[in-house]
């Protein structure tokens, strides 16, 4: 990801974002810590740098070791940092000056980091509150503890709940420029998915496919939005190992996405046959998931809650699985009881933005608002349940999974026996999993699937696999 180039249009966008959050936070200072490089095995060998997404949202600056301090008056923000030393320049090359970075972010005032603590001390002596978001990178916890003179273990608890609410409110509704970034990332992501479909064949290792798709993003100088899931064991929901060898008759689940130039995520899942053709059973289950996904997308509009969309989608799935003989009885009663969660234990989707699970660091206020997270198995994994608004960007990602441990446990407990045909289900242990995921913008009228089309129907997927 690159630091925004001096672009007056973006500088204005960052300034307006800061001003809106400042106005709604109701006085006091807002301290935005940027991220630091994190050592991998020794200090000089760091993980690839990824800026804190809130800091990116208000500055677009993707350089490490920066702080932003927003003062109460509109338009007054100070960028704190240190100029690159000669040693830094010798080893890692020149970096933009603080003034250049500030200009790109629409900030007029720059100061050295060593002056930050004094300013904060002065404000606190006058009783001015200092708002900050709960940090999750350890170096940010440490920095806040030192800057605000509080014990490290109290840093999280003293985060500003009003700033959390206002940052969540502000970042939840995406502007046109943000949707454009996500769609730009989806352009590369579409190529990653088509390439995987075209390249997969029996005998190949998962890691070869994972390398291929990551290379496509890297060749465009782009990061992955998250570690891709590329596996024939699709029933492991977040499977990050690439050790299996693809066999004819198996399905590959590819859940991956590139980042946009300014750090926006894309998040797409496709499931396709190793040998290029779905078996009749695979095609039946695939169509069940596709019907579920299209049904969910059709429900999306401002005002409906994502919990309703989730449950509506589960109803479509339960009906389809009953038609296939895996479930039985009344689908609505099965969904109310939670029996479908054997096949679909996760939520239908999540917010997407600068984070792949957007603002998950802010906790349940983002996805659930003031409502409590539901308790039922399956529903308890919902990342998003709140009413939707125009401008939200969401993933829609139903799946069907045959998770051996879950099937075995439920069967031994006789759970939901009236809705589940355990003999038929047990015969499918080893099937793996299917998931189909798109990124969707909530519009005033309904929903728009973002990005270029990526093969999705059985026929489209088989065609993309053909060689
Ligand atoms: Mn997702």
Q: Which two tokens stand for residue 294?
A: 């299209």
Please check whether residue 382 is in contact with residue 367, taking contact to mean a CB–CB distance below 8 angstroms: yes
Q: What is the pLDDT of residue 369?
A: 83
Q: How far is the CA of 394 from the centre of ligand 1 (A)?
A: 9
Q: How far is the CA of 50 from the centre of ligand 1 (A)?
A: 19
Around ion ligand 1, residues with a beta carbon closer than 5 Å are 267, 395
Query: Do residue 150 and residue 55 come from a single domain?
Result: yes
Last-in-domain residue among 122, 141, 171 = 171
Query: Do residue 144 and residue 184 come from a single domain?
Result: no
The partner residues of 395 in beta bridges, in order of sequence, read 439
Q: How far is the CA of 103 from the centre of ligand 1 (A)?
A: 35
Q: How far is the CA of 234 from the centre of ligand 1 (A)?
A: 14
Query: Do residue 114 and residue 217 come from a single domain?
Result: no
Query: Do residue 236 and residue 349 come from a single domain?
Result: yes
Domain annotation covers residue 275: yes
Q: What is the pLDDT of residue 3?
A: 58
Query: Do residue 194 and residue 342 come from a single domain?
Result: yes
Q: How far is the CA of 1 from the centre of ligand 1 (A)?
A: 21
Q: How far is the CA of 399 from the centre of ligand 1 (A)?
A: 11
Residues 6+ apart with CB under 8 A from 371: 385, 386
The three-state (H, E, C) secondary structure of the chain, written as one string: CCCCCCCHHHHHHHHHHHHHHHHHHCCCEEEEECCCCCEEEECCEECCCCCCHHHHHHHCCCCCCCEEEECCCCCCEEEEECCCCHHHHHHHCCCCCHHHHHHHCCCCEEEEHHHHHHHHHHHHHCCCCEECCCCCCHHHHHHHHHHHCCCHHHCCCCCCHHHHHHHHHHHHCCCHHHHHHHHHHHHHHHHHHHHHHHHCCCCCEHHHHHHHHHHHHHHCCCCECCCCEEECCCCCCCCCCCCCECCCCCEEEEEECEECCCCCECCEEEEEECCCCCCHHHHHHHHHHHHHHHHHHHHCCCCCEHHHHHHHHHHHHHHHHHHCCCECCCHHHHHHHCHHHHCCCCCCCCECCCCCCCCHHHCHHHHHCCCCCCCCCCHHHCCCCCECCCCCEEEECCEEECCHHHHHHHHHHCCCCCCECHHHHHCCCCCCEEECEEEEEECCCCEEECCCCCCCCHHHHHHHHCC
Q: What is the pLDDT of residue 155?
A: 98
Q: How far is the CA of 249 from the centre of ligand 1 (A)?
A: 25
Q: What is the pLDDT of residue 2?
A: 56
Length reported for the chain: 467
Domain annotation covers residue 2: no
Residues 6+ apart with CB under 8 A from 378: 338, 340, 341, 344, 345, 346
- In the predicted model, residues of the chain with pLDDT beneath 50 are none
Cα–Cα dist 188/351, whole Å: 20
Query: Do residue 40 and residue 86 come from a single domain?
Result: yes
Domain annotation covers residue 370: yes
- Chain centre to alpha carbon of residue 366: 13
Q: What is the pLDDT of residue 237?
A: 87
Q: What is the pLDDT of residue 343?
A: 98
Task: Report the candidate in 177, 131, 166, 222 with the shortest Cα–Cα distance to residue 353.
Answer: 177
Please check whether residue 297 is in contact with residue 306, taking contact to mean a CB–CB distance below 8 angstroms: no
Domain annotation covers residue 1: no
Domain annotation covers residue 381: yes
Query: Do residue 204 and residue 147 come from a single domain?
Result: no
Residues 6+ apart with CB under 8 A from 2: 62, 261, 262
Query: Do residue 345 and residue 414 come from a single domain?
Result: yes
Count up the domains in the chain and report the number: 2
Q: Domain containing 21: what range?
A: 8-171
Query: Do residue 60 and residue 187 come from a single domain?
Result: no
Q: What is the pLDDT of residue 293?
A: 98
Cα–Cα dist 296/130, whole Å: 42
pTM of the model: 0.95
Q: How far is the CA of 461 from the centre of ligand 1 (A)?
A: 20
Last-in-domain residue among 171, 198, 232 = 171
Q: How far is the CA of 267 from the centre of ligand 1 (A)?
A: 5
CATH number of the CATH domain containing 72: 3.40.350.10
Domain annotation covers residue 293: yes
Query: Do residue 317 and residue 356 come from a single domain?
Result: yes
- Chain centre to alpha carbon of residue 79: 28
Query: How far does the chain reach from its first CA to its final CA, in angstroms?
Result: 34
Last-in-domain residue among 135, 151, 171 = 171
Residues 6+ apart with CB under 8 A from 138: none
In Å, how far are 235, 255, 460 from 434, measured between CA atoms? 8, 11, 16
Q: What is the pLDDT of residue 378?
A: 84
Query: Do residue 419 and residue 311 come from a single domain?
Result: yes
Q: 85: burial class by Cβ within 10 Å (0-12, 13-18, 19+)?
A: exposed
Q: Which two tokens stand for residue 28?
A: 């006091």
Please check whether residue 271 is in contact with residue 451, taking contact to mean a CB–CB distance below 8 angstroms: no
Q: How far is the CA of 55 from the centre of ligand 1 (A)?
A: 23
Domain annotation covers residue 3: no
Q: How far is the CA of 306 from the centre of ligand 1 (A)?
A: 14
Q: How far is the CA of 132 from the centre of ligand 1 (A)?
A: 28
CATH number of the CATH domain containing 390: 3.90.230.10
Q: How far is the CA of 460 from the centre of ligand 1 (A)?
A: 22
- Chain centre to alpha carbon of residue 243: 25
Q: How far is the CA of 310 from the centre of ligand 1 (A)?
A: 14
Domain annotation covers residue 333: yes
Q: Which residue has the tokens 């309703």?
A: 308
Q: How far is the CA of 88 from the centre of ligand 1 (A)?
A: 38
Query: Do residue 17 and residue 150 come from a single domain?
Result: yes
Q: What is the pLDDT of residue 137?
A: 96
Q: How far is the CA of 335 from the centre of ligand 1 (A)?
A: 22
Please check whether residue 394 is in contact with residue 440, taking contact to mean a CB–CB distance below 8 angstroms: yes
Per-residue b/e over 427-454, b at no fewer than 16 CB within 10 Å? Answer: eeeebbbbbbbbbbbbeeebbebbbeeb
Please check whether residue 378 is in contact with residue 335, taking contact to mean a CB–CB distance below 8 angstroms: no
């Amino acid at each position: 990801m690159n630091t925004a180039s001096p672009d007056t249009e973006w500088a204005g966008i960052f300034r307006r974002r800061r001003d809106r959050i400042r106005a709604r936070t109701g006085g006091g200072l807002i301290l935005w810590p940027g991220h630091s490089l994190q050592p991998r095995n020794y200090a000089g060998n760091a993980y690839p740098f990824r800026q804190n997404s809130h800091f990116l949202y208000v500055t677009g600056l993707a350089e490490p070791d920066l702080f932003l301090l927003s003062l109460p008056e509109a338009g007054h923000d100070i960028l704190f940092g240190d100029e690159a030393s000669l040693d830094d320049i010798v080893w890692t090359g020149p970096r933009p000056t603080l003034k250049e970075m500030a200009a790109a972010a629409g900030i007029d005032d720059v100061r050295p980091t060593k002056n930050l603590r004094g300013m904060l001390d002065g404000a606190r002596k006058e009783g001015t509150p200092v708002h900050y978001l709960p940090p999750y990178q350890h170096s940010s916890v440490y920095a806040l503890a030192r800057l605000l003179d509080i014990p490290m273990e109290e840093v999280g608890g003293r985060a500003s709940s009003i700033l959390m609410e206002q940052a969540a409110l502000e970042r939840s509704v995406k502007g046109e420029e943000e949707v454009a970034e996500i769609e730009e990332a989806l352009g590369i992501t579409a190529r990653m998915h088509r390439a995987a479909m075209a390249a997969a064949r029996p005998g190949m290792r998962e890691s070869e496919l994972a390398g291929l798709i990551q290379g496509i993003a890297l060749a465009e100088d782009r990061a992955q939005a998250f570690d891709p899931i590329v596996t024939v064991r699709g029933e492991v929901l977040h499977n990050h190992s690439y050790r299996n060898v693809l066999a004819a008759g198996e399905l590959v689940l590819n859940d991956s996405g590139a980042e946009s130039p300014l750090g926006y995520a894309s998040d797409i899942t496709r499931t396709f046959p190793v040998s290029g053709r779905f078996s009749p059973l695979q095609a039946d289950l695939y169509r069940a998931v596709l019907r579920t996904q299209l049904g969910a997308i059709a429900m999306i509009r401002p005002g409906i809650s994502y919990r309703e969309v989730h449950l509506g989608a589960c109803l479509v799935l339960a009906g389809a699985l009953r038609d296939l003989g895996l479930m039985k009885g009344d689908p609505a009663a099965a969904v109310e009881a939670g029996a479908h969660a054997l096949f679909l234990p996760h939520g239908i989707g999540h917010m997407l933005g600068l984070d792949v699970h957007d603002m998950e660091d802010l906790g349940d206020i983002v996805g659930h608002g003031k409502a409590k997270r539901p308790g039922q198995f399956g529903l308890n994994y919902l990342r998003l349940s709140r009413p939707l608004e125009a401008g939200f960007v969401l993933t829609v990602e139903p799946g069907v999974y045959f998770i051996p441990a879950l099937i075995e446990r439920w069967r031994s407990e006789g759970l939901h026996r009236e809705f589940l045909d355990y003999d038929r289900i047990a015969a499918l242990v080893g099937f793996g999993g299917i998931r189909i995921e798109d990124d969707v913008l909530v519009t005033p009228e309904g929903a728009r699937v973002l990005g270029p089309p990526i093969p999705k129907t059985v026929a489209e997927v088989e065609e993309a696999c053909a060689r």
